Structure 1
Amino acid sequence: MLYTDHLVLHGIGIKKYADAVNISEIIGIAQAEVENSIDRAEERGLVMRADGKATLGPAGRLIMQCNYSRFYDSVRKNDAFVAAYDRFEELNVDLKSLITAWQVRDIAGSTVRNDHTDADYDNKIIDRLGALHESAERILAAMASVLPRMAIYREKLLTALERAEDGAIEWVSDAKIESYHTLWFELHEDLLCMLGKEREE
């Protein structure tokens, strides 16, 4: 399997169900090349398509997983990348705590859903997200020096943060868009797959 074809399967795996544009954006390969790769994968029974979007079939997922060690052996052995990943995992704990604070609040000793009517409270959380992002920027810069496509996440996360800071608060964690939390989850999944790690719940 060519690296490009593996990377397209990887992109589909990260996105779960996506069209060529979305996959192209997350893996940094031209849309036309992605579409050709999806065509080849569909012919081999590795992916399924519906409404212009692709998802992995069982065979595609198996082949994708079997090729991570082949294509990312050098990344797994790169001390700078692994060290950056370790820092990411530490920061991930902070991000989880922040998202929990965004979703629920402690009011008079009771945990209640955050209905986002308190702008001051929400703005403080977004400020915390901005501070966290500064650390994430340094981590992703270190990763991108080894694997350039990681810079895509830097750009996308910054875009989501700036939109949230401008008042469109759905860009903090809305699962239906490329919100900060959605992108962070995809980034985490990307790293786990490449490095052969398991997600800790």
Structure 2
Amino acid sequence: MTRQSAPELLVLHTVRLVGFADSEAVAERARTSHAEALRLLTMAERAGWVQHDSFAELDGWSLTDSGKVENERQLAAERVEADPDGTVAALYRDFLPLNARLLRAVTSWQIKPTEADTFAPNNHTDSEWDGRVLDELTALSEELAPLTERLSAVLARFDSYMTRYASALHKGRSGERDWIDKSDRDSCHRVWFQLHEDLVATLGIDRASEV
């Protein structure tokens, strides 16, 4: 049976995944009420696990170093109960080749080499070039779907990634190019990055040590 993560874990984990977000965004992603998210964020702040910052017109929450340690402790304890057979670790290994392809596709979306400049920005005037990238992102979507389905059968919090990626890809294919790679929205790249972070955090892996 799939494991529903505790609200305390989800709120702290959400802050880790999004990096910096206001309480309403945390509540939405953690699938809890704003009042409950704010209560748990305040408790986490008192414990030294998150901090609230305001600058210019922005305000939000971010994870502290001790909060990262606590988040990984919670995740490890949850995984012992929810995944005794090591399914998440096996699926993570299946994810890595897809991740390499995603990074290449996003690079091709952002850069289109020319004879004069190997790192020339892609100005998106070559529909054939962009079409190949979009086809690869679509193929990755089809290969990601069964993987996230199996992940969410273990831990329910993985069940939103496929929907979010597909939604961003649909917008990108419809001409809204920013939905492919921009970090200021739930783009294909951002959703994929957060899935990757969710996996390494769940497994206690340092990204720098990934093969």
TM-score (normalised: structure 1): 0.88
CA shift for structure 1 position 71 = 1.9
Q: What letter is aligned with 2:164?
A: K
Give the secondary-structure state (helix, strand or coil) at the position aligned to 1:34: helix
1:86-133 alpha-carbon deviations (Å, 9 max, x no partner): 211121111111112112123337412212222332122112111111
CA shift for structure 1 position 61 = 2.6
Q: Judging changes above 3 Å, is the alpha-carbon distance between structure 1 residues 108 and 156 closer, same or farther for their aligned structure 2 residues?
A: same
Which of 101, 111, 124 is the matching residue for 1:116? 124
Which of 104, 112, 118 is the matching residue for 1:105? 112
Give the secondary-structure state (helix, strand or coil) at the position aligned to 1:106: coil
Q: Is structure 2 residue 38 aligned with structure 1 residue 35? A: yes
The answer on whether the counterparts of 2:172 and 2:178 sit within 8 Å (CA) in structure 1 is yes
Give the secondary-structure state (helix, strand or coil) at the position aligned to 2:113: strand
Q: Is structure 2 residue 152 aligned with structure 1 residue 144? A: yes
Give the secondary-structure state (helix, strand or coil) at the position aligned to 1:105: coil
Q: Is structure 2 residue 88 aligned with structure 1 residue 81? A: yes
Q: Where does structure 2 lack aligned partners over 5 or more consecutive residues? A: none
Q: Which moved more, 1:177-186 or 1:27-36?
A: 27-36
The answer on whether the counterparts of 2:182 and 2:190 sit within 8 Å (CA) in structure 1 is yes
Q: What letter is aligned with 1:182?
A: R
Q: Within 2, Cα distance between the matches of 1:114 and 1:93?
A: 20
Q: Within 2, Cα distance between the matches of 1:198 and 1:60?
A: 16
The answer on whether the counterparts of 1:3 and 1:71 sit within 8 Å (CA) in structure 2 is no
Q: Is structure 2 residue 68 aligned with structure 1 residue 61? A: yes
Q: Judging changes above 3 Å, is the alpha-carbon distance between structure 1 residues 188 and 37 closer, same or farther for their aligned structure 2 residues?
A: same
TM-score (normalised: structure 2): 0.84
Alignment RMSD: 2.2
Q: Within 2, Cα distance between the matches of 1:3 and 1:177?
A: 26
